[in-house]
Amino acid sequence: MLQRIGHFASKTFLLWVLLVSVIAFTMPSLFSGLGAIIPYLLGIVMLGMGLTIKVSDFKLIFKYPKPVLIGVALQYIVMPVLAYLIAKAFQLPPDIAIGVILVGCCPGGTTSNVMSYIAKANVALSVTITSVSTMLAPVLTPSFMYLFAREWMEVSFASMFMSVTQVVLVPILIGLVVQRFFRGFSEKSEDVLPLVSVVAISLILGTVVAGSRELIIETGLLIFTVVVLHNVLGYATGYVLANVFKLDYPDKKAVSIEVGMQNSGLAVSLAIVHFNPLAAVSGAVFSFVHCVTGPLLARFWAKRAERAEQENRVETSHGSLA
């Protein structure tokens, strides 16, 4: 039963995100006071990631280092650079610019692994890139924020390092320890983790939407336009550069999805702790946007893969008849 509920929650994730966003926007009082627990909600999501990460996820680094290194490098170069260029091109106000750049400097999100599976991409590569980029986040996210965002606002590397470590790295390490020494509990928890993640992410998004309702009304169109552009350019640039490096087709799809989909929940948490609510809006909007564009891109690639398989079967049958 728990497994079925978890699968249902994962498949209908976009519906719950949209529903909670609408409720939060129309009845913000329902989410009042929840802002303080956002880091803990994100910690729960990261704990779930730690409970599901396997040692085998990292073996790919040693077996096929090229696509992993390219994927992680593009993750931390393409999105921050795109965010910086978009902020300059649109002459964004400081708070919005900080929010967009913060999204770009975060690691990939776990949703990308599901999208890679749907797209018939290299799922193992996707999981490895997500895992490696997340483990590197305590150092790389503050570093790139300091590099790209300091012209808009003061950025403290040390305080951001501590925040990312507490919210991301510590829960993941706890999850790994639980998985190692309490295997039975870890295996049973896998059935309920998708549901817990959906609830936690939806509450994070709803809390930010409710707390930033007036700001969204004032700047919503600008933020939405910038976030969509950032997300779509991330997919496109990731794919093009993966093609330049001559990766296999399934690897190119995985890298494209990894680059375009960010851990926007982390961006929201960091924005609230270190900056202000308006900076968190970009992360909240990105959470919604990539949950729309990701499935669309994944289904497009899935249909192309299905057509190619059908054509191969037809050619094979004709060849056998000949």
CATH number at residue 165: 1.20.1530.20
> Does residue 279 belong to any structural domain of this protein?
yes
Dihedral over alpha carbons 142, 78, 110, 98 (to 10 degrees): 40
Rounded to a whole number of angstroms, the distance between the first and last alpha carbons of the chain is 50
Under 8 Å between Cβ of 266 and 274: no
User: Domain range holding 263?
Assistant: 34-309
> Does residue 316 belong to any structural domain of this protein?
no
pLDDT of the chain, 322 residues: tens digit per residue: 666 766 666 666 667 777 887 888 888 888 777 767 777 777 777 777 677 667 666 777 788 888 999 999 999 999 999 999 999 998 988 888 888 899 899 888 777 877 888 788 888 888 888 888 888 888 898 889 888 888 887 777 788 888 888 777 787 788 778 777 777 766 666 667 767 777 777 787 777 777 777 777 777 688 888 989 999 999 999 999 999 998 988 899 999 999 988 887 778 778 877 777 777 788 878 877 887 888 888 888 888 877 877 766 665 655 555 5
Compute the C-alpha angle 112/115/121, nearest 5°.
100
Under 8 Å between Cβ of 298 and 222: no
- Burial of residue 315 (CB within 10 Å: 0-12, 13-18, 19+) is exposed
Residue of 196, 6, 238, 228 whose CA lies nearest to 112 = 238
Query: Into how many domains does the chain fold?
Result: 1
Tell me the whole-structure pTM to 2 decimals: 0.81
Under 8 Å between Cβ of 227 and 282: yes
> Does residue 197 belong to any structural domain of this protein?
yes
Cα gap 250→258, rounded to integer Å: 12
DSSP label of 31:
G
> Does residue 2 belong to any structural domain of this protein?
no
> Does residue 253 belong to any structural domain of this protein?
yes
> 50-87 b/e with 16+ CB inside 10 Å = b?
bbbbeeebeebbeebeebbebbbebbbebbbebbbebb
> Does residue 268 belong to any structural domain of this protein?
yes
Cα gap 98→87, rounded to integer Å: 9
